Structure 1
């Protein structure tokens, strides 16, 4: 096995584990500060660190068109996705949030059909979507009593909007194919979105207790910056460039499991056999969708 392949598999393990733990870290952080402010400060600091690293290495600033598109993608994938998800964690368990996010491949497939290329929906693809949605529906049934709580419903709503925004941003990223280093571009996305979220949080009347010696808050923020944004995203980009996309997508099945187990073990979140089974059903549906997309792509390439 080549050294690059070995490193890529290590990076995949990093993504699978650490991105799963960010739900727990965010859930702890929002105990002390509003989710939009927490996400904004996190992304701003991570963006400054990443862009400064590349600028010090001699990279030039991207042109205005690329910067404007990085801004749009950053707002969609980080403000309206990561920001809203962090806000949602004020109202719903971290494990439930992670399971909802696991449906993102289904949304990406749906929007790709309308915005990129209108391939026919195969029976396998439709079956995968149906199974995935059935799994989510089963999990919601287990939380039926909580749905009477308006704050819980608001958290679910924020999570769904976040998934749709991430999916749309992902499709735009693939469609535009910006000619800029992935990590350098990600740094600008983090910086732009972070600034927007901090400004939005201030207008919402929120503040960040920077002077307060709150170990939970600062520990959560530091973890999210280092392990969620910088290490996690860097590892993910490395995986995408060294392993097949079908293998890289494995993280989408592992993250929710990590998040659910950590939420149950550390935060004593709700977990029973019903939730566990429907979680597996959801992930099975997402897996089938991914397989169907890969098969359809191979058929398209073969026909051309």
Structure 2
């Protein structure tokens, strides 16, 4: 799979969105299980170093282009807001914030993504449908958070908001920067660099002295393996979607992820599906529908990459 100006297949789009919607929706629970007995930054760093090495090795065999120093620089610049601030912040925050609430706070990503894209990405003003879609989606996650949830620590909530801003900035760097025309190469390069940074943060903050490999539970170990597998599948799908769809459409995964988390809680943990939860799901669906309304395409391939290449907008 390489990035091009040609129209992507409907099947490819459906599979990529399924990976971003469903797999990323399950990672909040997996992160919470993984950090039960593995320090957060060391866990996140090892996850991305392993996943990045797998993707880079796979992408190197399929990518015919030559990597430049500028592309490595851009990958490093994107890796900090994406993986160190974005994913690292979420992983750290889940020590004191419930995983479901973490998904709800991260649901502000589409708002930040649209704001930054309007300010710096060359987009024209927001369409009315986009504003209504963002409003409906945020209303949905607000209703979802309403039933007496434990809000967690203020520091954790602040870290989650900062993580959402960081992930949005990194995503837009991926969209507009000079990077390889392969989502596997982009994801592999960025995860490798970001994973090394996260391991460094873990060492600097003293996590190594608190880490006992013998004390790692099988649940944490299994969750880490699952998170690596999700990174290998979902992150290239997300990177590709960011080049062929508008940021608003790709950002709808942040609305859907909390819904997936709730449904998993009902199916796996037997949590009750309340009328408020059903209302929240309905609002999220409306928000996604408004954000995915087709927009007139532009004629220039270069403009299609910077505006909305195929349709109007996975975690």
Band the TM-score falls in, shorter-chain normalisation: 0.7 to 0.9
2:119 is the counterpart of 1:114: yes
Aligned residue among 208, 213, 217 for 1:210: 213
Q: Which residue matches 2:313? A: none
Aligned residue among 49, 53, 67 for 1:48: 53
Q: Which residue matches 1:37? A: 42
Aligned-residue CA RMSD in angstroms? 3.5
Comparing 255-264 with 70-79, greater Cα deviation is found at 255-264
Q: How does 1:229-244 map to 2 (within 5 A)?
A: 229-236=231-238
Distance 1:224 1:63 in 2: 30
Q: Which residue matches 1:185? A: 186
- Secondary structure of 2:258's counterpart equals helix
- Secondary structure of 2:126's counterpart equals coil
Q: Please state how far the C-alpha of 1:188 moved relative to its aligned partner.
A: 0.9
Distance 2:37 2:138 in 1: 33
Q: Which residue matches 2:4? A: none
Q: Please state how far the C-alpha of 1:13 moved relative to its aligned partner.
A: 3.5
User: Taking structure 1 as reference, are residues 11 and 55 closer, same or farther at Cα in structure 2, changes over 3 Å only?
Assistant: closer
Q: Please state how far the C-alpha of 1:47 moved relative to its aligned partner.
A: 1.1
Aligned residue among 77, 83, 91 for 2:88: 83
Comparing 204-213 with 32-41, greater Cα deviation is found at 204-213
Q: Which residue matches 2:309? A: none
The structure whose RCO (Cα within 8 Å, separation 6+) is larger is 1
User: Taking structure 1 as reference, are residues 244 and 73 closer, same or farther at Cα in structure 2, changes over 3 Å only?
Assistant: closer
Distance 1:100 1:299 in 2: 37
- Secondary structure of 1:142's counterpart equals coil
User: Taking structure 1 as reference, are residues 87 and 267 closer, same or farther at Cα in structure 2, changes over 3 Å only?
Assistant: farther
Q: Residue 34 of structure 2 contacts residue 220 of structure 2 at CA under 8 Å; is this kept in 1?
A: yes
Q: Residue 77 of structure 1 contacts residue 170 of structure 1 at CA under 8 Å; is this kept in 2?
A: yes
Q: Residue 37 of structure 1 contacts residue 201 of structure 1 at CA under 8 Å; is this kept in 2?
A: yes
Q: Which residue matches 2:226? A: 223
Structure 2: 5+ residue stretches without partners: 1-8, 305-315
Q: Please state how far the C-alpha of 1:62 moved relative to its aligned partner.
A: 2.0
2:137 is the counterpart of 1:132: yes
Distance 1:27 1:258 in 2: 16
Aligned residue among 272, 275, 291 for 1:273: 275
Which one has a larger percent helix, Structure 1 or Structure 2? 1
What is the TM-score of this pair, normalised by structure 1?
A: 0.79
Comparing 7-16 with 24-33, greater Cα deviation is found at 7-16
Distance 1:269 1:81 in 2: 28
